[in-house]
Amino acid sequence: MSEKFLDFLLTRRSIRRFEDKEVLLDLLVKAVDVARFAPSAHNNQPWEFIIVTDKDKLEALSTMYRWARPLKRAKACIAIVTDPELSPRTHLIDGANATMYIWLALHALGLGAVWINALENEEMEKLLKIPENKTLLAILAIGWPAEKPEPRPRKKLEEVAYLEEYGRKLK
Ligand SMILES: Cc1cc2nc3c(=O)[nH]c(=O)nc-3n(C[C@H](O)[C@H](O)[C@H](O)COP(=O)(O)O)c2cc1C
């Protein structure tokens, strides 16, 4: 079983091409529901989520950032909003945890997604009507996968993992 879970993690990909096939709202809600269980500092849960399925909104969002184009072909997106007042030091970290929970939940449901960076994007904040005191962290573009990308290159284990102290090689 544990091998299966590891394989599940290793098979998640950024999916940027989507089938022209509806994604039921229930599935999106299910993924957001899972995100409520992400870990956060002091269990503050400084997050909120906006599910967007409106085609015009998706299209508009796709033009608001150079790397947001997958939103044009997406059937839905989920915006992750954090609360700097509730967790000044960790809201972005906590929000990233929740974003990954959603991404993995979508993967478990067979849906494809890609993280679109939305930090400090005032145009996106305005379109989504994010209040001034909240932070738009990320947008996950979502749809049924129309591509099966190979894994992106990764640094070698020896380059990033040490034993007992920084810089001491594993072997
Ligand atoms: C914080 C963050 C921001 C990202 N922003 C974008 C983005 O704006 N547009 C995009 O197409 N992909 C974006 N990605 C996806 C990365 O390019 C992708 O995760 C990386 O290339 C590794 O590929 P993989 O997700 O298939 O493993 C982002 C990922 C993260 C974690």
Hey, whose CA ends up nearest to atom 21 of ligand 1?
152
What domains sit in the chain, N to C, each tagged with a CATH number? 2-149 (3.40.109.10)
Hey, whose CA ends up nearest to atom 11 of ligand 1?
67
User: Given this model, what pLDDT does residue 171 score?
Assistant: 84
Q: pLDDT averaged over consecutive 10-residue blocks of the chain (171 residues)? A: 93 98 98 98 98 98 98 98 98 98 98 98 98 98 98 97 97 84
CA angle 21, 111, 64 (to 5 degrees): 80
Protein residues with CB under 6 Å of any ligand 1 atom: 13-14, 16, 67, 70, 114-117, 152
User: Given this model, what pLDDT does residue 45 score?
Assistant: 99
User: Given this model, what pLDDT does residue 12 score?
Assistant: 98
Rounded to the nearest angstrom, the distance between the alpha carbon of 15 and the centre of ligand 1 is 9
User: Given this model, what pLDDT does residue 96 score?
Assistant: 98
User: Given this model, what pLDDT does residue 139 score?
Assistant: 98
* pTM value > 0.75: yes
User: Given this model, what pLDDT does residue 133 score?
Assistant: 98
Hey, whose CA ends up nearest to atom 1 of ligand 1?
117
CA–CA gap between residue 69 and residue 6 (Å, rounded):
30
Hey, whose CA ends up nearest to atom 31 of ligand 1?
115
List Cβ neighbours of 119 (8 Å cut-off, separation of 6 or more): 135, 136, 137, 138
